[in-house]
Structure 1
C-alpha cells in the first residue's frame, strides 16, 4: 500500500445515498441524507434531536489548505497522511470536554469512523469567532505597521511580538461574503467589530441580540477549557477560531451550539511551552506549514497579497512540495493529536473503503 493510497484526498465521490449536491469545502465534504434516511437513523440510533431534523454525513479529507489554496506533494501525494484523523480526534476530544464542563453541545451526533461525523443541520452564525491570547501572525504584522485598532478594540502601545496580550481578545471576522451590511466590506474574512454585529445581528444570522453575549461567553469558556487542558500537556493555546450555529433539540427548542472543528492545528495556533520559556517558538499547528511556504517561494507577497490570487493559485497548482515537508506536517498533526487525546491515532491503509464498509453495514446509507 503506497503512501498516496493512505491519504484521503478526494472525499466528495463516496456512494452515500443523497438527493442533494455534495457540498465540498477546503477540507470537509457534506452529504445531506434523504428525509427517509434521516428519520430512520434518528429512530434507530436514538439521536437526541427532533424526529424530522435533517442529518448529514461529514467526511474529512487529508488535504492541506493554506493561504486559501490546496497544496500537494511529490510522488502524487495529494494531502498529509493522518491529518484528517488527527483533526477529528482532537475536535471530538474537546467537544467531550465541553460537555463535561456543561458548555454547549456540538452538531455531532455520531462518529462512525475516524474520518466521519454524522451531524444535524444547523443554521450557521456568519462569524468566524476568533479568540487571541498572544499577539502574533496577522495581528502582529498590522500592529508593527502602526495599527492600533482591531475589530473596534484599541490596543495599547508597547506590545511585543509573540507575547501575551493584556487580556483575552475576541476579534471576529466575516464568514463568507455578506452583502448590504453598513460599514462591512463585501468580502470574505474581513474584520468586524462588536458594534457591527449588534447593529446588524440578524444579518449575521443571530436569532436575537442577546445571543451575541452568549456566543462570546461560549467562545471564552471554550477557550479557557482547552487552554487549561493544553497546559497539562505542555502546550500554549495562542489563538483559535470557533464557529457557532443554531439547532433545535428533541423538544423543538432552538439552542446555540459549537460547529465545525475546535481547538485543532488547522483552526488554532499551539506552541510548545518548554521551547517558549527558552525564547523559541515551536509551532504544533498549521502555522509551521504557512511559514515553510513563505520561506519556500522567492516572492512571499504572492501568498500574503489577496490581489495576487491568480498567481497564488498557479503556485499551488504547479508546485509539488517536497515529500519530507508534508511528512513533517504529518508528524506535527499526529503527534499533537496523540498528546491531546492520550491515545494512539488510527490511520487506515485504505480509508475510503473503510468508510464505505461501515456506512453500508452499520448505517444502511450505501446501496
Structure 2
C-alpha cells in the first residue's frame, strides 16, 4: 500500500451526522453533533458535562501548514504520515498530566481513534498566549532590529540569539478581532499587555477578574510541567502557545480549561538538549520544516513577507514537495511523540475507513 493511502489529507468529508456546517481549519475539522446525539452520548458515556452541552467530533488531518499555507507532496502524499496521530497523542499526554497534577481539565471528553477527539463546546477566552523560555524566532528577529519591549515587558540589552531568558516571558495576543478596547487595534492576532487584559477582562471573555490570575497560573504551571518532563528526556521546551475557554460540568459549575492543543511540535518549539549544550540547534518541532522551506525555495522573502501573500499562496499551490522532505518531517513528529508518550505511533492503512467504522459501531454517529 502506498504511503499516500496512509495519510489523512482531507478530513471534512466524513459522513458524520450534523445539522451545522463543518468547520475546517488548517489541520482540524469540527463536526458539531445534533442536540439529540449530544444528549444521547452524554447519557450513554457518562461524560462530566451539563446534560444540554453541545458536543463535537474533532478530526485531525495529516496536512502540514507553515507560513499560513498548506503544503503538498509528490505522488498525492498531501500530508505527513503519522503527523495527526503524533499531535493528538502528545496533547492527550500533557492534558492527562495537567489533570493528574490538579491544574485544569481540557475540552476533550473521549478519544475514539488516534485521529479523533469528542469534545465539549467551550466559550473561548479571546487570547492566544505564547510562553517563551528562550529568545528565538520572530522574537529574536524583532530584538535584532532594536525592539526591547514585548507585550509591555522590557527585556535586557545584552541577549544573544537562542539564549535562555532570565524568566518565563508571556506574550499574549488577541484571538480574533476585538472591538472597543482602548489602545488595542481592531485586527486579529495583535500583541497586548497584561494591563490591557486586567483593565478589559470582560472584553477578553473572562467571567471574573480573579480568572485573569488563574489563567496566568495555568499558563506558567502548565509550561513548567511540560518543561520539567521534557528535561528528563534531554529535550528543551523553548516556547509554546496556550488557549483557554470555559465549559460547564455535570453539576452546572463553569470552569476554565485548557483547549485546542498543547505542547505539540505544531504549537511549540522543542530542541534537543545535548545538541544545544554543544552550541547547535536541533529542532524537534515544525520549526525544522519552516527552516527547510526557507532553504528549499530561492526567494525566502516570499515566506517571511506578509505583503507577498499572493506569491506565497501560489508557491504552496504550485509546488509539490519531495516525498523525502515529508518523510523527514514524519520522523521528527513520530519520534518526539514516541519519546514523550513512551508508545509507538502506528500508521493506519486506511485512516478514513477506520474512523467511519468506529464512529458508526461504537458511537452511532454515522447512518
Specify if TM > 0.5. Answer: yes
* Cα distance between partner residues in 1 of 2:147 and 2:264: 29
* Cα distance between partner residues in 2 of 1:65 and 1:14: 21
* Cα distance between partner residues in 2 of 1:307 and 1:186: 19
- 1:181 aligned residue: 181
Deviation per CA, 1:263-311: give whole Å up to 9, x if none. 0000000000110111100000000001111111222221111121111
Q: CA deviation at 1:74?
A: 1.2
* Cα distance between partner residues in 2 of 1:198 and 1:263: 26
- 1:289 aligned residue: 289
- 1:209 aligned residue: 209
Is it true that 1:310 corresponds to 2:310 in the alignment?
A: yes
- 2:356 aligned residue: 356
- 2:109 aligned residue: 109
Is it true that 1:92 corresponds to 2:103 in the alignment?
A: no
* Cα distance between partner residues in 2 of 1:309 and 1:165: 32
- 1:32 aligned residue: 32
Q: CA deviation at 1:212?
A: 1.2
Q: Secondary structure at the match of 1:240?
A: strand
Q: CA deviation at 1:99?
A: 1.0
* Cα distance between partner residues in 2 of 1:63 and 1:181: 36
Structure 2, gaps ≥5 residues long? none
Larger mean CA deviation between 74-83 and 258-267 belongs to 74-83
Shift >3 Å, 4+ stretches: none
Structure 1, gaps ≥5 residues long? none
**Within 5 A, what are the aligned runs for 1:1-367?**
1-367=1-367
Tell me, yes or no, if the aligned pair for 1:74 and 1:322 is still in contact at 8 Å.
Answer: yes
Q: Secondary structure at the match of 1:172?
A: strand
Q: CA deviation at 1:77?
A: 1.2
* Cα distance between partner residues in 2 of 1:218 and 1:94: 13
Q: Secondary structure at the match of 1:171?
A: strand
Q: CA deviation at 1:175?
A: 1.5
Q: CA deviation at 1:177?
A: 2.5
Seen in structure 2, the aligned counterparts of structure 1 residues 269 and 111 have a Cα distance that, compared at 3 Å, is: same
Q: Secondary structure at the match of 1:168?
A: strand
Deviation per CA, 1:214-239: give whole Å up to 9, x if none. 11100101001100110111100000
* Cα distance between partner residues in 1 of 2:345 and 2:130: 28
Tell me, yes or no, if the aligned pair for 1:114 and 1:346 is still in contact at 8 Å.
Answer: no
* Cα distance between partner residues in 2 of 1:317 and 1:308: 14
* Cα distance between partner residues in 2 of 1:21 and 1:247: 22
* Cα distance between partner residues in 2 of 1:303 and 1:127: 25
Q: CA deviation at 1:251?
A: 1.0
Tell me the number of residue pairs that the alignment of Structure 1 and Structure 2 aligns: 367
* Cα distance between partner residues in 2 of 1:202 and 1:315: 41
Q: CA deviation at 1:213?
A: 1.0
Tell me, yes or no, if the aligned pair for 1:234 and 1:272 is still in contact at 8 Å.
Answer: yes
Q: Secondary structure at the match of 2:346?
A: coil
Q: CA deviation at 1:4?
A: 1.0
Deviation per CA, 1:319-339: give whole Å up to 9, x if none. 111211111000000000000
Tell me, yes or no, if the aligned pair for 1:18 and 1:31 is still in contact at 8 Å.
Answer: yes
* Cα distance between partner residues in 2 of 1:286 and 1:270: 9
Q: Secondary structure at the match of 1:51?
A: coil
